[in-house]
C-alpha cells in the first residue's frame, strides 16, 4: 500500500506558529505531526508516500521529506495543488496522477496512536470511531452508516453512528467520484467525495486520534500522548499511585526540549548524586532517591510519546538503574558504619536487588516473552524497584536504615525464589517432552 | 512431509542388549535412537511417522510410540514386514500402503545431529556425505554420483564420491522400483532400489551421523554426541582449555543415569557446599569452586547430547549460578574478616559479578539476539564466569584473597562498562531514526 497525505491547507487557526511553517511540521510531543505519521505508517510496512501540498510550502516539505527518506527508508512524491482554496477534496483529486494502487489517505494535521493505525490499515473506506473518547464531540465531523456504508457526513447530523477520523483506506476508484465533483464545483470538500462515493465505513473505536487546529488542541494532544505513554508498562503499585502522576507532568514539560537519552543520562547522574547525599543527610538522600525513581519514568514516557523508543535506550537505562541502586545502597551502608555481621545483611540486600531484575530479564532472554504476561501472579509479588525505592525513602525518613536493609535482603531474595517457583510451575510441562 | 522409519532388522550384532529389545530402542547418550530421530524430525515439522517393523517387535514399538505420540504431538502408523529376512528393501516396499506423499526415509539404527537433518530434509534423493568425518570409511557404504544421480552404490566401490548416510527424501514413485525388484528377487536391499531408481544425490557433508551396529559403535556415538554438545556454547578461555575437557568425560558417564535437571540441582548443592568450605579451608574451597564450575557444564552437555534441552532448565541453571557465585564470594569475604573499607571492595566484587551476567542477558531480552554474535569484540573481554572462578581458585591457593576481591571488583565492573560501550557503538544507528 501507498499513503497519500493531504498537506495543502494553510492552517490559519494555529496562530503565530504557522506563519513560518505548515501545520504538518508543527511539533506535538517532541515530533512533527507528519514525521510521526510517516514513521508509524512505515513501521507498518507502508514505504511510499504521496504528499499533496501548496506551492508556498513545497520547498519546506521537500527538505523535510528528504531527511525522512534517509532515516526511515521511505520513498516520497510531492504533488502540488495549485488551488488550495478549492478545498481538501480538490487536494485528493490532484493526487490522482501519483497514485498507483490501494492507498491510505490521511491529513497532515491528524494524530493517531500506533494501535489505531495498526487496526485501521486492515479496514476499508472511511475509518469511523464510534466512541470518540479523546475528541470534542460538538466540533467533530459525524457520520451516519447504513449497511456498512457512509450514508451521511457532516458536523451537524442529528442522528449519527460515529466520528470521521480523517483516516481512509481507498482504491484509485475514488478518483472518479472526485473528478465528477471537481468538474461541477469550485470548492470540493473530502466529505462530499465520501458521500458521493458511498464509501464503506471501517470501524476502529476507542483509540486516541485527533486533529490539531489550534494551539489549545496542540497542548491537549501532547497531554493525551504523554498519558498514553504509560499504558502497559507493567508498573508496580508506587509507580501507578504516585510516580506516574508526577513524571507525566514533568514529561509534558521536557518533551519539547530534551531527547529520551539525554534524560536517561541526567536521571542517572541525579541518582548517583542522591546516593552521595547519604554522607550528608540520610533522610534527604532518601527523598532524592525517590525523586530519581520518579524521574526514571520520564525518559520512557517521552520516548513513547514522541515515537522515539529504542531498544538501545531501554538497555542502557536498565543497566544504569542497577548502578544507581547499587550506589545508593552502598553509600547508605557506609553512612551507618555497619559491623561485620551487618555487612552480611547488606550484601544480601545489594545482591537481591540486582537479582530481582536479573531473574525477570533472564526469563525474557530465555523465552522471548514477558514474564508478567505469562505468569500473571508475578504482578502481585511485592518488591519491584518503584516499591523498594519508596520503602527506602520512608525508612530513611524515619531513621530505620538497619531495618530497611533487613527487609530489602529478605524481600528481594524471597521475590527471586518465588519467581523461580512460579516460572517452574508455569513451564514445567516443557521438561516432560 | 511424512517419515518412514525402517525398524524390521533383528540387530544380531548388538550382543546381549538386543535380545530383549529392538535396536532402535537402545539408548545412546541417554535417549533411544528412534526417540531422538522422531523428536528432531518433529521439531522440523514432520508430524506423521510410519514404522516398518517385524511381528516380534510390533508390541514393543507400539507401546513406545504411544508415549511419543502424546509427548511430541505426532501421529504414527505401524506397518508389519512379515518377512524381515527379505531385506530392508522389502521393508521399504511394505511401507507403500501407508505412504501418501513425499517422505523422508531413515533407519531405526542411524543417528544424526540436528543440523544434518535440518539440511537433509530440504534435499532430494539419497543424502550423501562427501566427507564422512565421523565414520569408519572402510566399513561404510559408498556411492558414485554422475550428473547428480546415484550411479553405483556398495561397500567396495573403487572410485566413489561420498558415503550413503541412510537418510533419503523420496516420493511414492520409488515404490514402483521397489515392486519391480521384489517381484524378481527374494532378498532386496535398499541399495538395489537406489541404483535401480537412479535416485538423485543430495549432498550434506561434514555433519555427525552414524549407524549403530555394535556395542563399540554405541560407545563411539555417545562420545561424539557429548563432544558435539559443546559446539557454539560461547565458552570463555578456561572452559575451552580446561573445563570442557573434564566435563565431557563426566557427561559421558552420567548421561546414562541422570537427567539434566538432576545434575543442575546437584551442581548447585555442590557450589553452595564449596562456598561453606571457606570457613574450614580457603584453598580447598577454591579448588571445590573450580570443580563446581567444571560440573556446571555437565547439565547443558547432557541436555544437548540427549536432545533434552529446555529453556526452563537453562533459566533455572542461570539463576542458581548467580546464587552460587554470591554464596562463594560472601563466605570467602566473611572468612577473611574484612575491615570497613574492604567491605566496599567486596560489595563491588559481588555486585559486578552479577552485573556481568545481567548486562548480557538484558541485551538478549531487549534485542532477542546474542550479544556475542552481534558484537564479536565481546568474545575477547576477560571476566566471564569460567575465568573468574579459575582466577578465584588460583588466588585462594596462593592465599591472595584480598587481591582477588580487588581484581574481581575492577574486572567485572570494567567488563560491564565495556559491554555498554561496545553495544552503544554497534547499535547507536538505531537512535538516529
* pLDDT 10s digits, A311-320: 999 999 999 9
Residue of B259, B347, B415, B418 to mutate, testing the A interface (most A Cβ within 10 Å of its Cβ): B347
Note whether A379 and A319 are within 8 A (CB). Answer: no
Contact B427 A312 (CB under 8 A): yes
Same domain, B278 and B353: yes
Cβ contacts of B318 on chain A, cutoff 8 Å: 362, 366
Cα→Cα distances B352→A70, A103, B356, Å: 40, 53, 6
pLDDT higher than threshold 80 for residue A57: yes
pLDDT at A139: 86
pLDDT higher than threshold 90 for residue A409: yes
Same domain, A374 and A400: yes
Residue of A347, A372, A378 to mutate, testing the B interface (most B Cβ within 10 Å of its Cβ): A347
Same domain, A158 and A241: no
Q: What is the pLDDT of residues B28-54, one digit of tens each?
A: 999 999 999 999 999 999 999 999 999
Beta strands A162-170 and A103-107: pairing type? antiparallel
Same domain, B244 and B114: no
In a domain, A219, yes or no: no
pLDDT at A430: 65
- Cα B430 to Cα B433: distance, rounded to the nearest angstrom: 6
In a domain, B224, yes or no: no
Same domain, A138 and A75: yes
Domain harbouring B102, CATH code: 3.90.550.10
pLDDT at B214: 87
Q: CA of A325, closest CA in chain B: separation in Å?
A: 11
In a domain, A240, yes or no: yes
Cβ contacts of B368 on chain A, cutoff 8 Å: 368
Q: Complex ipTM, two decimals?
A: 0.89
Q: What is the pLDDT of residues A9-47, one digit of tens each?
A: 776 665 655 556 788 999 999 999 999 999 999 999 999
Q: Which three cell numbers stand for residue A218?
A: 496542540
With CA atoms as reference, the chain A residue closest to B367 would be A311
With CA atoms as reference, the chain A residue closest to B331 would be A344
| B265 interfaces chain A, CB cutoff of 8 Å | no
Domain harbouring B263, CATH code: 1.20.120.1760
Q: Which three cell numbers stand for residue B252?
A: 559421558
What value does the mean pLDDT of chain B take? Answer: 92
Of A213, A240, A255, the last residue of a domain is A213
DSSP characters over A31-83 = EEHHHHHHHHHHHTT--EEEEEE-TTTHHHHHHHHHHHHHHHT-EEEEEE-S-
Cα→Cα distances A272→A196, A327, B294, B362, Å: 64, 6, 38, 21
Cα→Cα distances A336→A280, A328, A339, Å: 12, 13, 9
Cα→Cα distances B162→A103, B356, B408, Å: 55, 47, 52
Q: What is the mean pLDDT of residues B266-280?
A: 97
| B408 interfaces chain A, CB cutoff of 8 Å | no
With CA atoms as reference, the chain A residue closest to B38 would be A433
Of A151, A178, A213, the last residue of a domain is A213
pLDDT at B236: 84
Q: CA of B257, closest CA in chain A: separation in Å?
A: 17
With CA atoms as reference, the chain A residue closest to B333 would be A344
Same domain, A208 and A263: no
State what percent of residues in chain B have pLDDT above 90.
79
> Looking at the 3D structure of chain A, how many domains does it have?
2
A residues 295-334 near B, CB within 8 Å?
308, 310-316, 318-319, 322, 326, 330, 333-334
First-to-last C-alpha distance (Å) of chain B? 44
pLDDT at B8: 87
Q: Which helix (H) or strand (E) holds B367?
A: helix B340-367
pTM of the predicted structure, to 2 decimals: 0.89
A240-249, B4-13, B96-105, B200-209: which has the minimum mean pLDDT? B4-13
Residue of A351, A364, A414, A417 to mutate, testing the B interface (most B Cβ within 10 Å of its Cβ): A351
Contact A359 B319 (CB under 8 A): yes
Q: CA of B249, closest CA in chain A: separation in Å?
A: 25
Option in B71, B330, B362 nearest A318 (CB): B362
Q: What is the pLDDT of residues A148-174, one digit of tens each?
A: 999 999 988 889 999 999 999 999 999
Same domain, A173 and A261: no
Contact A366 B423 (CB under 8 A): no
With CA atoms as reference, the chain B residue closest to A428 would be B312
Cβ contacts of A358 on chain B, cutoff 8 Å: 319, 322, 354, 357-358, 361
Residue of A366, A420, A428 to mutate, testing the B interface (most B Cβ within 10 Å of its Cβ): A366
List the beta bridge partners of residue A125. Answer: A169
pLDDT at B433: 46
Option in A350, A361, A368 nearest B351 (CB): A350
Option in B310, B357, B358 nearest A431 (CB): B310
Q: Tell me the helices (H) and strands (E) count for chain A, helix number first.
A: 17, 13
pLDDT higher than threshold 50 for residue A433: no
Of the pLDDT bands very low, low, confident and very high (cuts 50, 70, 90), residue B14 is low
- Cα A419 to Cα A158: distance, rounded to the nearest angstrom: 56
| B137 interfaces chain A, CB cutoff of 8 Å | no
Option in B365, B367, B433 nearest A72 (CB): B433
Q: Which helix (H) or strand (E) holds B126?
A: strand B125-129
Q: Cell 559408498 maps to which residue?
A: B142
B residues 146-185 near A, CB within 8 Å?
none
Q: What is the pLDDT of residues A76-130, one digit of tens each?
A: 999 999 998 898 899 999 999 999 899 999 999 999 999 999 999 999 999 999 9
CB neighbour list of residue B427: distance below 8 Å, 6 or more residues apart: A311, A312, B367
In a domain, B219, yes or no: no
Note whether A360 and A419 are within 8 A (CB). Answer: yes
Q: What is the mean pLDDT of residues A297-305?
A: 94
| B279 interfaces chain A, CB cutoff of 8 Å | no
- Cα B241 to Cα B25: distance, rounded to the nearest angstrom: 36
pLDDT higher than threshold 90 for residue B244: yes
Same domain, A34 and A140: yes
pLDDT at B430: 65
In a domain, A163, yes or no: yes
3 state SS for chain A: CEEEEEECCCCHHHHHHHHCCCHHHCEECCEEHHHHHHHHHHHCCCCEEEEEECCCCHHHHHHHHHHHHHHHCCEEEEEECCCHHHCHHHHHHHHHHCCCCCEEEEECCEEECHHHHHHHCCCCEEEEECCCCCCCCCCCCEEEEECCEEEEEECCCCCCCEEEEEEEEECCCHHHHHHHHHHHCCCCCHHHHHHHHCCEEEECCCCCEEECCCHHHHHHHHHHHHHHCCCCCCCCHHHHHHHHHHHHHHHHHHCCCCCHHHHHHHHHHHHHHHHHHHHCCHHHHHHHHHHHHHHCCHHHHHHHHCCCCCHHHHHHHHHHHHHHHHHHHHHHHHHCCCCHHHHHHHHHHHHHHHHHHHHHHHHHHHHCCCHHHHCHHHHHCCCCHHHHHHHHHHHHHCCCHHHHHHHHHHHHHHHHHHHHHHHHHHHHHHHHC
Q: Which three cell numbers stand for residue A379?
A: 504482578
Contact B364 A363 (CB under 8 A): no
Cβ contacts of A338 on chain B, cutoff 8 Å: 343
Note whether A34 and A64 are within 8 A (CB). Answer: yes
Q: What is the pLDDT of residues B414-429, one digit of tens each?
A: 999 999 999 999 988 7
Contact A416 B319 (CB under 8 A): yes
Cα→Cα distances B135→B132, B221, B416, Å: 6, 10, 44
Same domain, B61 and B125: yes
Q: CA of A11, closest CA in chain B: separation in Å?
A: 28
Contact A361 B361 (CB under 8 A): yes
Residue of B259, B306, B365 to mutate, testing the A interface (most A Cβ within 10 Å of its Cβ): B365
3 state SS for B168-203: EEECCCHHHHHHHHHHHCCCCCHHHHHHHHCCEEEE
- Cα A414 to Cα A411: distance, rounded to the nearest angstrom: 5
Cα→Cα distances A392→A83, A252, A292, A383, A402, Å: 64, 28, 12, 11, 11
In a domain, A412, yes or no: yes
Cβ contacts of B334 on chain A, cutoff 8 Å: 340, 344
In a domain, B163, yes or no: yes
- Cα B419 to Cα B416: distance, rounded to the nearest angstrom: 5
Option in A39, A350, A358 nearest B361 (CB): A358
DSSP A243: I
| A429 interfaces chain B, CB cutoff of 8 Å | no
In a domain, A223, yes or no: no
Same domain, B147 and B256: no
CB pairs under 8 A between A and B: 141
Q: CA of B320, closest CA in chain A: separation in Å?
A: 10
- Cα B310 to Cα B300: distance, rounded to the nearest angstrom: 9
pLDDT at B19: 59
Same domain, A291 and A199: no
Q: Which three cell numbers stand for residue B335?
A: 572468612
- Cα B369 to Cα B360: distance, rounded to the nearest angstrom: 10
B residues 10-49 near A, CB within 8 Å?
39
Of B148, B181, B214, the last residue of a domain is B214
What value does the mean pLDDT of chain A take? Answer: 92
pLDDT at A20: 66
| B77 interfaces chain A, CB cutoff of 8 Å | no
- Helix B385-397 and helix B340-367, axial crossing angle in degrees, nearest 10: 160
Q: CA of B158, closest CA in chain A: separation in Å?
A: 45
Of the pLDDT bands very low, low, confident and very high (cuts 50, 70, 90), residue B376 is confident
Same domain, B155 and B296: no
Range of the domain at B92: 2-214
- Cα A245 to Cα A146: distance, rounded to the nearest angstrom: 43
Q: Which of A212, A216, A250 is nearest to A230 (CA)?
A: A250
Option in A310, A365, A430 nearest B361 (CB): A365
Residue of A343, A378, A409 to mutate, testing the B interface (most B Cβ within 10 Å of its Cβ): A343
Option in A261, A344, A367 nearest B311 (CB): A367
Note whether B189 and B87 are within 8 A (CB). Answer: yes
List the beta bridge partners of residue B260. Answer: none
Residue B212 CA neighbour count, 13 Å, CB half: 32
Cβ contacts of B72 on chain A, cutoff 8 Å: 433
Amino acid at each position: 500500500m501507498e499513503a497519500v497525505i493531504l498537506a495543502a491547507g494553510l492552517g490559519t487557526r494555529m496562530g503565530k506558529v504557522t506563519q513560518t511553517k505548515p501545520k504538518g511540521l508543527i511539533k506535538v510531543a517532541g515530533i512533527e505531526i507528519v514525521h510521526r505519521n510517516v514513521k508509524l505508517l512505515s513501521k507498518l510496512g507502508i514505504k511510499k508516500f504521496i504528499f499533496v501540498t501548496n506551492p508556498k510550502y513545497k520547498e519546506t516539505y521537500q527538505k523535510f521529506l528528504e531527511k525522512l527518506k534517509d532515516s526511515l527508508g521511505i520513498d516520497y512524491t510531492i504533488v502540488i495543488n495549485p488551488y488550495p482554496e478549492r478545498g481538501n477534496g480538490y487536494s485528493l483529486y490532484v493526487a490522482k496522477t501519483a497514485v498507483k494502487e490501494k492507498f491510505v489517505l490521511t491529513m497532515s494535521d491528524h494524530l493517531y496512536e500506533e494501535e489505531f493505525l495498526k487496526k485501521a490499515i486492515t479496514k476499508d473506506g472511511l475509518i469511523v470511531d464510534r466512541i470518540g473518547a479523546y475528541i470534542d464531540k460538538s466540533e467533530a465531523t459525524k457520520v451516519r452508516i447504513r449497511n456498512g456504508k457512509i450514508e451521511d457526513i457532516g458536523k451537524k447530523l442529528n442522528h449519527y453512528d460515529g466520528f470521521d477520523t480523517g483516516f481512509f483506506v481507498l482504491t484509485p476508484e475514488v478518483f472518479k467520484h472526485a473528478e465528477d465533483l471537481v468538474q461541477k464545483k469550485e470548492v470540493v470538500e473530502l466529505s462530499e467525495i465520501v458521500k458521493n462515493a458511498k464509501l464503506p465505513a471501517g470501524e476502529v473505536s476507542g483509540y486516541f486520534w485527533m486533529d490539531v487546529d489550534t494551539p489549545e488542541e496542540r497542548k491537549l494532544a501532547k497531554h493525551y500522548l504523554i498519558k498514553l505513554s504509560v499504558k502497559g508498562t507493567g508498573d508496580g503499585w508506587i509507580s501507578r499511585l504516585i510516580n506516574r502522576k508526577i513524571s507525566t507532568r514533568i514529561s509534558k514539560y521536557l518533551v519539547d526540549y530534551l531527547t529520551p537519552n539525554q534524560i536517561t543520562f541526567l536521571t542517572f547522574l541525579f541518582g548517583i548524586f542522591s546516593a552521595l547525599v547519604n554522607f550528608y543527610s540520610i533522610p534527604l538522600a532518601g527523598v532524592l532517591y525517590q525523586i530519581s525513581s520518579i524521574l526514571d519514568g520520564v525518559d520512557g514516557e517521552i520516548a513513547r510519546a514522541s515515537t522515539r523508543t529504542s531498544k538501545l535506550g531501554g538497555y542502557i537505562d536498565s543497566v544504569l538503574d542497577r548502578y544507581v541502586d547499587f550506589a545508593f545502597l552502598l553509600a547508605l551502608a557506609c553512612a551507618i558504619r555497619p559491623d561485620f555481621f551487618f555487612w552480611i545483611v547488606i550484601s544480601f540486600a545489594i545482591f537481591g536487588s540486582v537479582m530481582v531484575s536479573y531473574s525477570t530479564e533472564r526469563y525474557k532472554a530465555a523465552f522471548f516473552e514477558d514474564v508478567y504476561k505469562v505468569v500473571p501472579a508475578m504482578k502481585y509479588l511485592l518488591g519491584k524497584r518503584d516499591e523498594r525505592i519508596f520503602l527506602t525513602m520512608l525508612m530513611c525518613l524515619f531513621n530505620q536504615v538497619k531495618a530497611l536493609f533487613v527487609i530489602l535482603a529478605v524481600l528481594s531474595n524471597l521475590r527471586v525464589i518465588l519467581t523461580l517457583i512460579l516460572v517452574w510451575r508455569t513451564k514445567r510441562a516443557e521438561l516432560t517432552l
